[in-house]
Structures are given as C-alpha cells and as structure tokens.
Amino acid sequence: QFDLSPPWWARLLTGAQRRVLKAVDDVTFDIPRGKTLGLVGESGCGKSTVARCVTNLMVPTSGRVDFNFGGAVEPSTALSPEGRRKVQMIFQDPYSSLNPRWPISKTIAEPLKVFGLKTSRAEIRDEVRLLLETVGLHADDAHKYPHQFSGGQRQRICIARALACRSEFLVLDEPTSALDVSVQAQILNVMLELQARLHLTFLFISHDLSVIFQMSDYVGVMYLGRLVEIGPTAEVFRRPRHPYTQLLLQTVPRTNLVGQIRAPLSGEVPSPIKPPGGCSFHPRCPHVMDVCRSVAPKQTQSGAELVACHLAAG
C-alpha cells in the first residue's frame, strides 16, 4: 500500500530583529515525515536555539514553526494537546532530565496518564514493560531508579518516555555527546531502528559531523546563527559548496566518518553579539572577496542545495 498521507513538515522561519541578540536569524527548513534533518555547527552557532524554538521552550521574536501531522497546519505556539504530545525532545544529559526520586516505571507511565493514553493500572504496567523492551532494557528493571542505570541506559529511558507520548517528531539535541563513544553507536542504532519501525521524524542536532552523516537524510550547516548550507546529506558531504562546510569536512577523516572531529578549525568563532559585517564567516574564509566584507550573501539554490555564499551565487 502506498503512503499517500500529506507531506509532514516542520518549518522554522525567523526574520530580522533589531537591537536584540540574534541567536538565530533567517533559518528556514522543512523536514518531510519519517526523515531526519541534521543540524551541525560549532558550539554557539544557534543549533540549540533552533531546537528550543521548535519545541516551544522558546518563542522566536519573529518567525514561526509550523507542524503538519497529516491534518491541518498547526503553529507551534498554538499546538493542540495532541500536537504537543507528538513533539518531544531528547536532551544531551539524560541524568538531569529524569526525576531521581521516581522509579523509571513512574517516569515512563507519566505521559500515558497525563495524555490519557492508558487508564487501567494493568494496561499502564504492561505498556511500560513493552516500552522498556522496545528500547532494549529489561522489563524487570522498571522498579529501579535512574542512578541504578548507566548513561546509555538512561538515554534509553528518556527515549522510552518520549515514545510513551506516541511521539511522531523528536528533537534530539546532542543526544549522545555525553556518552562514551562505544555507547554512542548503540544509542544511535536504537534511534535509527525506532525511526524506521515507527516512521518517526527527527531534528538531530550535533557538532559531530560523523554522527550527522550516519543519522541524517538532510543536513543543515549553521554558522553564527545562520544556516549557511542545507541539502541532502550525501550531496553536502560529497560536494560541500560553502567554504565553512568545506573547512568543517576537512577536519573529519574521509575514510573514517565514524569518530570525533579530530582537528578544530583555525580561528576564533566571533561573538554572536557583534557578528562581523557582510558575510559573518569572512574573517575565517580562505576565499574571502571584497564584497564579502560589506554584503551579506543571500541563500541561493545550487544543485539540490541552498547555499549562502557569494561564490555560490556566481
């Protein structure tokens, strides 16, 4: 059977703001249902701000985020309770996002009760056991407390809680950066399996290009609050068009995209409070031209990608 459901997408638009810190500016993207958009960039580039806007933890001063779960388009600021349930976030530090005084069964059961998804005690208990098994934990550990689990196991518990909401869209903000490299791969695999099985949509945020490469269908590269390049992951990695993306990719060993970024980029990231004029990447750009110092490049289509660089504009 063909899936003829209407396209699902999340769109974030933030416009010009004056006299306020522009943590994020002019960032626009769609994510089709069941796909992953990876957002990558150095720390302070605005990735987490985007995540916060998408999950309504922060309201942009201008611009908006819209959701379409196959029915009407809903703006994030006026999501129905059902819409709110479907959008969940997974944070970097699984420990601080779990209540240490609650057994994990209570943590996972909470959304089932709050959203009225299960009502009888027996149903809730069975569902919690099923969710724990779904994320690769033992159902018999439901009575244990967060401190009795490892970091990777705690992240699995957070995923189980998000699934308990019957979530359809997960915002994952550096979900594995606090974990050991060996555990990272396991958690990423759990997420990929669940995505395929449950047709989940991800906004996946990471500073680690190899993780983005593994996880994402589309990748957006952010620099100082702006999206400088966005396109299909294979395209962007094979032929990065923005000089910043090119530099970022040079820091990753091509033969082994699994692993950490080895060498940091040269040059300081300028302060987002006083970003450089023109193209904000110009102080670090090896291809800088006169025009770059005064004129901010607009996003232009280049193949399947959007690139904000005077060179791409031709």
Site of interaction with Mg ion (CB under 5 A): 48
Could you give the count of Cα atoms lying within 13 Å of 39 in the half-sphere of its Cβ? Answer: 32
Using rule CB under 6 A, residue 226 touches ligand SF4: no
Nearest CB to ligand SF4, comparing residues 206 and 302:
302
Which one, of 213, 202, 208, lies nearest residue 176 by Cα?
A: 208
- Residue 204 forms beta bridges with which residues? 38, 172
Cβ at position 296, least distance to ligand SF4 in Å: 8
Nearest CB to ligand SF4, comparing residues 47 and 241:
241
- Judged by CB under 6 A, the residue of 123, 287, 290, 301 near ligand SF4 is 287
Helix (H, G, I), strand (E, B) or coil at 79: coil
Using rule CB under 6 A, residue 279 touches ligand SF4: yes
- Judged by CB under 6 A, the residue of 281, 299, 305, 306 near ligand SF4 is 281
Using rule CB under 6 A, residue 156 touches ligand SF4: no
Using rule CB under 6 A, residue 297 touches ligand SF4: yes
Q: What angle do CA 262, 181, 225 make, to 5 degrees?
A: 55
Select from ligand SF4, Mg ion, none the partner in contact with residue 282, using the beta carbon and a kind-dependent cut-off of 5 to 8 Å.
ligand SF4
Residue 11 tokens read as 């769109």
Amino acid at 217: D
Phi, psi of 306 (to 5 degrees): -110, 130
Q: Give the integer Cα–Cα distance in Å for 60 and 65.
A: 9
Nearest CB to ligand SF4, comparing residues 85 and 310:
310
Burial class (CB in 10 A: 0-12, 13-18, 19+), 292: buried
Residue 36 tokens read as 């992953």
Stretch that binds ligand SF4, among 5-13, 132-140, 151-159, 306-314 (CB under 6 A): 306-314
Nearest CB to ligand SF4, comparing residues 236 and 279:
279
Stretch that binds ligand SF4, among 61-69, 159-167, 214-222, 303-311 (CB under 6 A): 303-311
CA distances from 4 to 7, 11, 34, 36, 45 (A): 9, 21, 13, 19, 37
44 contacts 50 by C-beta, under 8 angstroms: no
Using rule CB under 6 A, residue 285 touches ligand SF4: yes
Contact footprint for ligand SF4 (CB under 6 A): 243, 279, 281-282, 285, 287-289, 292, 297, 309-311
